[in-house]
Amino acid sequence: MKKILLLILTAIATTSYAQCWKTVAVGEKHSLGIQTDGTLWAWGFNGDSGNVGNASTANVLSPVQISTATDWKEISAGIAYSFALKQSGALWAWGSNYYGNLGTGTTAFSTTPVQIGTSTWKMVKAGYHQSVGIKSDGTLWAWGDNQDGNIGDGTFIDRLVPTQISTATNWKSISCNLSRSIAIKEDGTLWVWGFNSPALGVTGMGSNVTHITVPTQVGTDTDWKETAAGNG
């Protein structure tokens, strides 16, 4: 009987804990989470850039609540900065901002979440020092470090605010990493841009071109579902 009771209590405790969190995201040295009540939490290495977002630069050893809002929807953790979307689609960012990767129009760091413009977003991803996002209207945008054509606007100029990089309005999902991005359109086609590293074949293009400065289709397949961009 005692063993049965212990198993029941363990199951209840485990289930309760599991239901506490809705989603989590892991950066290089900090982590984010949204609980089932819509609150935003963060922990880990803070550094001088304020990665955690709690208005401090001291490291945080256990989750702390970031803001009092209860309508957070999605999160993304980059190298030393973060994005969070609210249910309304409003975008917020904080942390390091060396190349304008927060999208605030400056390179100033922010130790607390700041709203980025007034547009509504479907998803936003934080990379190393470049960011990419899809707005609610299906358009594709990027900003931050552009030394390897990371932004995808055909230049090597850093962008301090979200910059539209395609006239298409059917972008579905995105992922990004150190120096490249991968996206899928609603029609199931796969697209890539940024640093190619031909010797490694990182973009899947089978090309000797080192930099792909605009979104370029990979192959002709139309059944891609999901992507994840790694370092190599």
Is 102:86 a contact under the CB 8 Å cutoff? no
- pTM of the full structure: 0.87
- Residue 206's pLDDT band, with cuts at 50, 70 and 90, is low
Max distance between CA atoms of the chain, in angstroms, equals 70
Predicted local confidence at residue 141, as pLDDT: 98
Predicted local confidence at residue 198, as pLDDT: 59
Give the three-class secondary structure for 91: strand
Distance, in Å, from the CA atom of 221 to the CA atom of 146, rounded to the nearest integer, reads 28
Predicted local confidence at residue 203, as pLDDT: 60
Would you list the domain boundaries of the chain?
Answer: 22-217
Is 194:152 a contact under the CB 8 Å cutoff? yes
- Residue 207's pLDDT band, with cuts at 50, 70 and 90, is low
Count of C-beta atoms within a 10 Å radius of residue 152: 29
Domain 22-217 = CATH 2.130.10.30 = yes
